[in-house]
Chain A
Amino acid sequence: QSVLTQPPSVSAAPGQKVTISCSGSSSNINNYVSWYQQLPGTAPKLLIYDNNKRPSGIPDRFSGSKSGTSATLGITGLQTGDEADYYCGTWDNSLSAGVFGGGTKLTVL
């Protein structure tokens, strides 16, 4: 059972928009949240850090936001190449440990 809760799967058609939620508590989501994309058979890749900042090279189709004890990853203009597992992550002050969500599998229909 992950400290951060994500939906197991989401799906949408090419060109559409999708959002992935990450629900936690005040001991973790109050810290900066980051998001990672893991394509099949590859290492995770940083998509979003500090809640809503994109590293260089990450297209603006990817966005991050946070409200209360939840964070959200948004992806617009979906492409088949976006099919991957997506994870949220942050630091948990109560556990004094890093934590990840259980991951969300994105299918682009």
Chain B
Amino acid sequence: EVQLVESGGGLVQPGGSLKLSCAASGLTFSGSGVHWVRQASGKGLEWVGRIRSKTNSYATAYAASVKGRFTISRDDSKNTAYLQMNSLKTEDTAVYYCTDLPKGSSGLTSWGQGTLVTVSS
């Protein structure tokens, strides 16, 4: 199983940018997809986006609410995935989780502890 640790959260003004990191330990990271999921305070889970493995051409997909503003990338040599967030809006305020989708599974298996992003002036 993969252990995941998010970092990079914090307070940012509307219109600003922030880059989150997701550091993974475990041998299966490079073969897994990485998904980002967010949760506003007191609300449910919202899927943000994902990046597939090298085998799947690092294909990305995004929720409509963040498409064109957020970009997911990964560096398998560092066992790290990233979420670049631009043009941030107050409604992007949430705890952001990274999670992995192991090869051959449909379930988001390992989850980080989450990092809080607050967009406010």
Q: A residues near B, CB below 8 A? A: 2, 31-34, 36, 38, 43-46, 48-50, 53, 55, 85, 87, 89-91, 95-103
Contacts and interface: CB of A to CB of B under 8 A. Distances in A.
Interface of B: 35, 37, 44-47, 50, 61-64, 97, 99, 105-109, 111-114
27 contacts: A38-B45, A43-B111, A43-B112, A44-B45, A44-B111, A45-B111, A46-B108, A46-B111, A48-B107, A50-B105, A50-B107, A53-B107, A55-B107, A85-B44, A89-B45, A89-B47, A90-B106, A91-B106, A95-B64, A97-B63, A98-B61, A98-B63, A100-B37, A100-B45, A101-B44, A103-B44, A103-B45
Given A49-B107, A50-B105, A102 B44 contact: yes
Contact of A31 (B35, B44, B62, B106): B106
Given A46-B109, A87-B44, A98 B97 contact: no
B119 to A, nearest CB: 21
B14 to A, nearest CB: 24
B23 to A, nearest CB: 15
A66 to B, nearest CB: 12
Contacts of B63: 97-98
Contact of A89 (B50, B62, B64, B108): B108
Nearest to B45: A100
A29 B64 CA distance: 20
